Amino acid sequence: MIRKAKIKDVKEVSRLIEEFANKGEMLPRPLTDLYDNIRDFYVYEEDGVVLGTCALHICWEDIGEIRSLTVKEDVVGKGIGKQLVDICIEEARSLALPKVFALTYKPGFFEKLGFKAIDKGILPHKIWVECVRCVKFPTCDEIAVIKEL
C-alpha cells in the first residue's frame, strides 16, 4: 500500500535513505530536512513495514523534483520503485506541473518510466540552493533526468 508519509515514518525513511547514502548511491538527508519536508513524501508499506519511500518536491511554478527514492534491497525488482514514482507523477499532474526531474545515479530506471537524460545546467538555479550544501558540490556526479507531463 502506498500512502502519504506521517511523522511516525520519519525515522524509518531516514534509515532507508541512510542505507543508500552510506553506499554512495544517494545523497544523505538530515532528520531536520525530513521533518521539514514530510508532506512531500510517500511510503510503500506492507504488513506495517515501510519498504520504500519517494518524495515530490515542488521547486518552482513549472517544475517538481522526484527525490529520495529508496526501496529495501530485499524487495527490489517487485515494482515498488515504479509505483512510488508513478504516485509522485500523479500528484504533479494534479498540481498542473508541466514537468518533473530527478538527479540520480540510476538513469536507466527513470528512462524506463519516460524520463530523458538532460544537462544539469538547464535546470532552474533555484534547485542549486540545496546542492551548495552537498559534500559533492561543485563536482556533482548525479545524472539529471526530466519528464514532460
pLDDT for res 134: 60
* Structural domain range at position 127: 2-148
Q: Say yes or no to pLDDT of 130 above 80.
A: no
pLDDT tens-digit readout, 98-110: 999 999 999 999 9
CA angle centred on 63, ends 61 and 69, rounded to 5°: 135
Residue 121 pLDDT exceeds 90:
no
Task: For the chain, give the mean pLDDT.
Answer: 91
**Main-chain dihedrals φ then ψ at residue 84, nearest 5 degrees:** -65, -45
In the sheet that 2-4 helps form, which strands lie side by side, from edge to edge? Answer: 2-4, 41-46, 49-60, 63-71, 99-104, 143-148, 116-118
Asked if residue 17 has pLDDT above 80, the reply is yes
Contact between residue 76 and residue 85 where contact means Cβ atoms under 8 Å apart: no
CATH code for position 138: 3.40.630.30
pLDDT in tens, 66-90: 999 999 999 999 999 999 999 999 9
pTM of the model as a whole: 0.92
Q: How many domains does the chain have?
A: 1
